[in-house]
Amino acid sequence: MDLLFWTAVAIVAFLVQIFRLIRADGDLSLMWAEAFGASPASALQGKVVWLTGASGGIGEHLAYQLAECGCRLVLSSRKEDELERVKKTCLERSNLSCANVLVLPLDLLDVDSHEECLQSVLRHFGKVDVLLNNGGRSQRSLFLDTSLAVIRSLMELNYIGTVSLTQLVLREMVQRGHGTVVVVNSFAGICGVPLASGYCASKHALMGLCNSLQIELGHQSGIKILSVCPGPVQSNIVKNAFTEELGKLAPYSENEEHKMATARCARLILIAMANNLLETWISSQPLLLYPYIWQYLPSLCRALSLMVGRRRIENLRSGLDADAYFTRSTCKTKST
Ligand SMILES: NC(=O)c1ccc[n+]([C@@H]2O[C@H](COP(=O)([O-])OP(=O)(O)OC[C@H]3O[C@@H](n4cnc5c(N)ncnc54)[C@H](O)[C@@H]3O)[C@@H](O)[C@H]2O)c1
């Protein structure tokens, strides 16, 4: 037992040193692609990219960087005015014309509207080269306190909404023999996260979907299914998170310094797309090590996670942002 423990510690220490050495904020294939692979500006130029969750957070930065690469864009989320704001900035930051950026309001939960949305995109651009499934919501609540309605909403939004759009767009891509589907997953699609059991389940479901599709469609060389897994990133995800009941918001902190900068996360997602990396892990250190340890030392990792997990739960119970552990900053509580 002693030998096993010290071997585990030695492996973790070794990994820490390697990652320190290269200052990685993405898995090793992603870092390799950033240093030596195709650049997003050349690989993605001119492509028609349909981006969900484009009104804020990671999606907003993806929109700006895709515009700078010369992609033609379909910007989707529920908030049309916010999408118009993002479109305006896309046009200011690129050489795109107004017709190159289509604002297309879409509710991922309203699956019956997705076919009509696809037809609007096809009428405007004639095709979809890349579907970038980014829209989604997280969760901050204990499993035992959470209503079934919330768990169902998480599944319907993050999983079924993404499945619905992906299935429609993939059929069109397969007919043409060309296209890429990207799913913005999460470390929560690989590891367990306390206070986010429903969110984790929906992201694990997406991971299963991508893993299966990569094999099921793998023989069609023109079709790519990419799964991108970020750790914590600066965005509105905590403000927008589900809690125990629908309509109740979680306490959140304005201070997100401990999380990865949104623009850097978007940049790494574009590198994954430009190089067709099937699965990528993105996070600042030391958290990037978490999925590695989770995979290679599953029992030890769960034991270590208990300490952080307990603190997050205590924070939430005291009305603080669960991550006040990392920030020690003032926290706000908002309710609807
Ligand atoms: N921020 C993080 O720490 C983090 C980490 C890992 C993965 N992610 C994933 O990144 C993606 C983007 O999240 P974010 O961090 O930018 O959060 P965010 O809350 O800032 O943005 C979420 C986007 O999804 C859209 N959205 C929410 N519900 C929708 C619905 N019903 N229909 C259509 N659009 C809807 C919102 O309007 C918004 O544009 C999500 O899939 C999230 O799970 C985020």
Tell me which residue has tokens 């309710």.
335
- Catalytic annotation, pick one of 159, 199, 290, 292: 199
Which atom of ligand 1 has the smallest separation from the CA of 199?
43
Structure token pair of residue 11: 């492996």
Structure token pair of residue 10: 């030695």
What would you report as the CA-atom Rg of the chain, rounded to the nearest whole angstrom?
20
d(CA 226, CA 276): 7
Ligand 1 center from residue 107 Cα (angstroms): 12
CA proximity to 193, closest of 45, 294, 325 = 294
4 — pLDDT class (breaks 50, 70, 90):
confident
Structure token pair of residue 145: 């306190």
What ipTM was reported for this prediction?
0.99
22-37 burial code (b ≥16 CB/10 A, e <16): eebbbbebbbebbeeb
Contact 280, 32 (CB under 8 A): no
Q: Whose CA is nearest to atom 39 of ligand 1?
A: 53
Question: Residue 46 class from Cβ within 10 Å (0-12 exposed, 13-18 middle, 19+ buried)?
Answer: exposed
Ligand 1 center from residue 221 Cα (angstroms): 30
* Tens digit of each residue's pLDDT (9 = 90 or more) over 92-149: 999 999 999 999 999 999 999 999 999 999 999 999 999 999 999 999 999 999 999 9
DSSP helix/strand/coil, 109:
coil
